Amino acid sequence: MEVIEGCRLPVLRRNQENEDEWPLAEILSVKDISGRKVFYVHYIDFNKRLDEWVTPERLDLKKIQFPKKEAKTPTKNGLPGSRPSSPERDLKKTLDLSLHTPAAGIGKTIPTPKRKLEAVSLTTQCSPATPVAPTPEIPTPVFAQQNGSVRRPVSAVAGRKRKAGCLGTDEDSQDSSDGIPSAPRMTGSLVSDRSHDDIVTRMKNIECIELGRHRLKPWYFSPYPQELTSLPVLYLCEFCLKYLKSLKCLQRHLTKCNLRHPPGNEIYRKGTISFFEIDGRKNKNYSQNLCLLAKCFLDHKTLYYDTDPFLFYVMTEYDCKGFHIVGYFSKEKESTEDYNVACILTLPPYQRRGYGKLLIEFSYELSKVEGKTGTPEKPLSDLGLLSYRSYWSQTILEILMELKSENGERPQITINEISELTSIKKEDVISTLQYLNLINYYKGQYILTLSEDIVEGHEKAMMKRHLRIDSKCLHFTPKDWSKRGKW
């Protein structure tokens, strides 16, 4: 029985509890190594970062499913038949519901039928990455603490696609004396439409990356030059992020590389943490290399070969050897959608240490200086959604818990006021309140009810959050890119 590409069958893998399991997997590629076949598999309903090469002993051939032949699309009068209705398309029809806005003044409310609130709440909970349509405003919620029932957050559905633009090419971006290609390969770039996926982009192509004192195992495909994909280790200069084929080439490069920090302006420093602002037009080589590295850990990221429209904010840790990259985010110089982040990443060695939330907090500090509200490009990746949900929840709860009552009455606050205080866009404020199940409709007005569990959970989370942005250490002057021609 020959196993071919497209087959599905159970494959042995070891889970996080170090136990063996046999999830269903799809064969994406087959190759021969020294006369023995190995198979590249994708575990169905698992993240692509778990894809791997396996040997025949790990395949359960008794339950193999061969790929089915594609059925022709039914036609009518020579034209393709209409597409069947999908749950996503049906769901969009329900998003026309919007809440009534207050007639005038802060604190005044107009009663809204309870069924309408439930309809919008349900829609948002089913798809947390989708903003409530269209820019709804909830009339002044009354804030109250409740010593009552436990309210558990609704589970979030991770976004599947990830659009973020920021990969450029430059023919002279690499030193040809190192014996490697001068630019990234132009094939295999991801686009936001999944129908354009090919087998190349579905498979990890880099085995290992050495970046400074860390060795990283890539999660996803990245369009590095094809000659480098067969190497056991790809070496990167940790300061300019140039890619090299051998340790000897790296050592020779380090004798010539004068950088000890990312190029650009240092706009924030507190303790050992610094942020550098890098213009994608002025520093194309660095921006391109940064995006190639980031693509190894970001799945649904659109790759554009033009970094000019983007700014990159790189977070570093300082020691006696220099400023070491921890993570970064990019943003468009001009965004018509109020996006303050296009793409965001904390490198794997620094994950689960609070740096992701620090990157998010820094993006909103920039929005505060700009006098704008911001939001990340959506849909978010699975890890991005978790990070943003956590940041939004903690930031908004921090505001609500600091409210004080006046004249013995319940404290009041509007959605607009929360948005202005935090620079979080109104849609994200509303979806977070609904995600936490805090909004209730009672006697003609909206009540924000905090249970003891919510308060205790927030206090515990804030005790663990040691890294915070100090606005006094930020030295940032926003630029009006609309008046700067081609930047």
DSSP line for 27-38: EEEEEEETTEEE
Q: Strands (DSSP E) along 173-264, which ranges? A: 209-211, 214-216, 234-236, 243-244
Would you give the DSSP letter of residue 485?
Answer: T
Average pLDDT of adjacent 10-residue blocks, the chain of 487 residues: 90 87 94 90 92 93 86 52 45 31 33 34 32 42 42 35 37 38 42 50 92 95 92 96 96 94 96 96 94 90 74 96 96 92 94 94 97 90 87 95 80 91 95 91 81 91 93 93 65
Q: Provide the pLDDT for residue 383.
A: 79
Alpha-carbon span 89 to 6, nearest angstrom? 29
List the catalytic residue out of 332, 365, 377, 427.
377
Q: Provide the pLDDT for residue 301.
A: 63
The rounded mean pLDDT for the chain is 77
Q: Provide the pLDDT for residue 201.
A: 83
Whose tokens are 């309870």? That residue is 114
Q: What is the pLDDT of residues 12-59, one digit of tens each?
A: 998 878 889 999 999 999 998 888 999 999 999 998 889 999 999 999
- Asked if the bond preceding 379 is cis, omega within 30° of 0, the reply is yes
Q: What is the DSSP string of 135-147?
A: ------PEEEEE-
Active site residue 377: yes
Q: Provide the pLDDT for residue 417.
A: 94
Q: What is the DSSP string of 52-86?
A: EEE-GGGB-GGG-BPPPPPPPPPEETTEEPPPPP-
Alpha-carbon span 302 to 162, nearest angstrom? 7
Q: Provide the pLDDT for residue 164.
A: 40
Whether pTM exceeds 0.85: no
Q: Provide the pLDDT for residue 220.
A: 93
The encoded tokens of residue 400 equal 């609500």
Q: Provide the pLDDT for residue 72.
A: 58
Q: Provide the pLDDT for residue 432.
A: 95
The encoded tokens of residue 428 equal 């994200």
Q: Provide the pLDDT for residue 225.
A: 93
Strand partners, 395: none
